């Protein structure tokens, strides 16, 4: 099969890497891709937001399947456009991608179908929002802008003043765009966070190995939120009992709810869960693989990824068995100085040659370019140094020893991934 992967980050590198191991792959393409991906797949300079351009590229390449990895093209309906011209896809259509695209939609879905989540109300009027804050009067309280906001539309307000400022900037000033003028105010939950990615064809849902993201920029969960500074799999707080409970109360009810709403979800459904004192609850859904969760989870996948993608598209997920490696994996993100705020790019990266390779590890590229025989930085998150082993400790040790071989100016990474 000829397969085109849409996207350009570490997650896409992990997907490309795993697909490259499939004996069914004849040719692998990626758009736009990055420096590391270009070693495994022919990359084309088409933006993920350019739906027409991407469909034209898939047709030109005679792609048998297109894997749409990031949320933006999924929310734009790239899958629908590809299916309309007869090209197979992996990823939800536009109607189903709303589960990530609108927090108001996903909260209302959970309420309607009794899926456990934080208690909430929705507002598009500042006075009503403030009156609600005053009547609740418990802090912290969580304020979320509707719409895709690259993980930035969530504010955990510590007091009334902060909460009022957040709702005012979202509703009155449109700080997160037009859709962000709709605001969810929800109860603050506590407990360990778990990511569960799941393959689903709309009828069957198969959870992957669990994982844990590390969202804050610095050690000890200090500093601003990022796209994710590291991940481990499996998540040490999760177990078989919890998986059974989540299957019954969250995973199956969610895909059935989506089907009942006429929005059958096919692809990878991301459950951001919190293990609260009163049981697991949903923090958020994403309509795609997580990044950097995909790097650790796909590193543990033993089965052929293309066979799974095919089974999802053909609604035959119940007919295959998905196997996982024994042990654990860890990913350390190496980021540009300043990230998640302003940062410089174009720094040469040293240590990505054969000499820097450590066995049982792989360096996924997130923001790099390759030209003139060298790799340079091209984004905030630059590399995802990933390793696996018989235990979490072994995986972490290998990952950090691989990190030590790599250098670029002003780089920063967390030294406490997996330590909590
Ligand atoms: P989200 O973009 O919805 O995943 O939110 C980003 C992060 O904010 C989550 O990973 C949590 O750490 C935190 N968060 C979101 N909602 C809540 C909540 N209701 N209670 C506590 N923390 C939350
Ligand atoms: N790592 C969090 C996400 O992919 O949304």
Cα separations (Å) of 188 from 141, 156, 185, 219, 224?
5, 8, 9, 23, 18
In angstroms, rounded to a whole number, what is the distance separating the alpha carbons of residues 81 and 224? 37
pLDDT computed for residue 177 by the predictor: 87
What is the phi/psi pair of residue 326, to 5°?
-85, 145
186 lines ligand 1 (CB under 6 A): yes
Sign of CA pseudo-dihedral 130, 134, 139, 142 = negative
Residue 233's beta-bridge partner residues?
329
Closest protein CA for atom 3 of ligand 2:
290
In angstroms, rounded to a whole number, what is the distance separating the alpha carbons of residues 6 and 25? 16
71 lines ligand 1 (CB under 6 A): no
Global pTM?
A: 0.96
Q: Quote the ligand 2 centre to 91 CA distance (angstroms).
A: 16
pLDDT computed for residue 29 by the predictor: 98
Output the CA torsion 226→143→97→369 (10° steps): -20
What residues contact residue 235 under an 8 Å CB cut-off, 6+ apart?
192, 194, 195, 210, 211, 212
3-state secondary structure of 330: strand
pLDDT computed for residue 354 by the predictor: 74
pLDDT computed for residue 151 by the predictor: 65
Cα separations (Å) of 379 from 34, 40, 91?
10, 20, 25
What residues contact residue 384 under an 8 Å CB cut-off, 6+ apart?
10, 13, 14, 292, 295, 331, 332, 333, 334, 363, 364, 365, 366
pLDDT computed for residue 150 by the predictor: 67
* Ligand (nearest to CA of 228): 2
Whether 87 contacts 58, CB under 8 Å: yes
Q: Which domains does the chain have, with CATH numbers?
A: 2-93 (3.40.50.20), 119-187 (3.30.1490.20), 193-319 (3.30.470.20), 328-403 (3.90.600.10)
In angstroms, rounded to a whole number, what is the distance separating the alpha carbons of residues 227 and 31? 21
Q: pLDDT 10s per residue in the chain (420 long)?
A: 999 999 999 999 999 999 999 999 999 999 999 999 999 999 999 999 999 999 999 999 999 999 999 999 999 999 999 999 999 999 999 999 999 999 999 999 999 999 999 999 999 999 999 999 999 999 999 999 998 876 678 999 999 999 999 999 999 998 888 888 999 999 999 999 999 999 999 999 999 999 999 999 999 999 988 999 999 999 999 999 999 999 999 999 999 999 999 999 999 999 999 999 999 999 999 999 999 999 999 999 999 999 999 999 999 999 999 999 999 999 999 999 999 999 999 999 999 987 778 899 999 999 999 999 999 999 999 999 999 999 999 999 999 999 999 999 999 999 999 998
Q: Work out which ligand 1 atom sits closest to the CA atom of 151.
A: 2
246 lines ligand 1 (CB under 6 A): no
Q: What angle do CA 30, 216, 224 make, to 5 degrees?
A: 105
Query: Sheet holding 328-335: strands in order across?
Result: 212-213, 230-233, 328-335, 381-389, 361-365
213 lines ligand 2 (CB under 6 A): yes
pLDDT computed for residue 278 by the predictor: 96
In angstroms, rounded to a whole number, what is the distance separating the alpha carbons of residues 177 and 173? 9
Q: What is the CA 138 to chain-centroid distance, rounded?
A: 31
């Amino acid at each position: 099969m000829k397969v085109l992967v849409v996207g350009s980050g570490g997650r896409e590198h992990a997907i490309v890497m795993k697909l490259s191991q499939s004996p069914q792959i004849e040719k692998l393409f990626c758009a736009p891709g990055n420096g590391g991906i270009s070693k495994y797949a022919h990359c084309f300079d088409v933006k993920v937001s350019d739906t027409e351009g991407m469909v034209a590229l898939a047709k030109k390449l005679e792609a048998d399947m297109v894997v749409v990895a990031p949320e933006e093209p999924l929310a734009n309906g790239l899958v629908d456009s590809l299916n309309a011209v007869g090209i197979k896809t992996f990823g939800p259509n536009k109607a189903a991608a709303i589960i990530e695209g609108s927090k108001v939609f996903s909260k209302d879905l959970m309420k309607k179908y009794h899926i456990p989540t934080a208690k909430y109300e929705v507002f598009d009027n500042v006075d009503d929002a403030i009156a609600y804050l005053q009547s609740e009067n418990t802090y912290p309280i969580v304020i979320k802008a509707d719409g895709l906001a690259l993980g930035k539309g969530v504010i955990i307000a510590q007091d009334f003043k902060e909460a009022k400022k957040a709702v005012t900037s979202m509703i009155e000033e449109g700080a997160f765009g037009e859709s962000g003028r709709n605001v969810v105010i929800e109860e603050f939950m506590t407990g360990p966070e778990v990511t569960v990615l799941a393959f689903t064809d709309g009828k069957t849902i198969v959870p992957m190995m669990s994982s844990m993201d590390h969202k804050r920029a610095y050690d000890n969960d200090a500093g601003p939120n990022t796209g994710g500074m590291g991940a481990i799999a499996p998540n040490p707080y999760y177990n078989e009992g919890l998986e059974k409970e989540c299957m019954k109360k969250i995973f199956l009810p969610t895909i059935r709810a989506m089907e009942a709403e006429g929005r059958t979800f096919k692809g990878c459904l991301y459950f951001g869960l919190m293990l609260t004192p009163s049981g697991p609850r949903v923090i958020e859904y994403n309509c795609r693989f997580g990044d950097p969760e995909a790097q650790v989870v796909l590193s543990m996948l033993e089965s052929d990824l293309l066979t799974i993608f095919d089974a999802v598209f053909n609604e035959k997920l119940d007919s295959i068995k998905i196997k996982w490696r024994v042990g654990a994996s860890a990913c350390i993100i190496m980021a540009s100085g300043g990230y998640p705020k302003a940062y410089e790019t174009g720094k040469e990266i040293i240590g990505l040659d054969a000499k820097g390779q450590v066995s049982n590890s792989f360096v996924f590229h997130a923001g790099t370019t390759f030209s003139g025989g060298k790799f340079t930085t091209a984004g905030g998150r630059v590399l995802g140094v990933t390793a696996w082993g018989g235990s979490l400790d072994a995986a972490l040790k290998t990952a950090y020893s691989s990190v030590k071989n790599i250098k670029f100016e002003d780089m920063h990474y967390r030294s406490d991934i997996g330590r909590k």
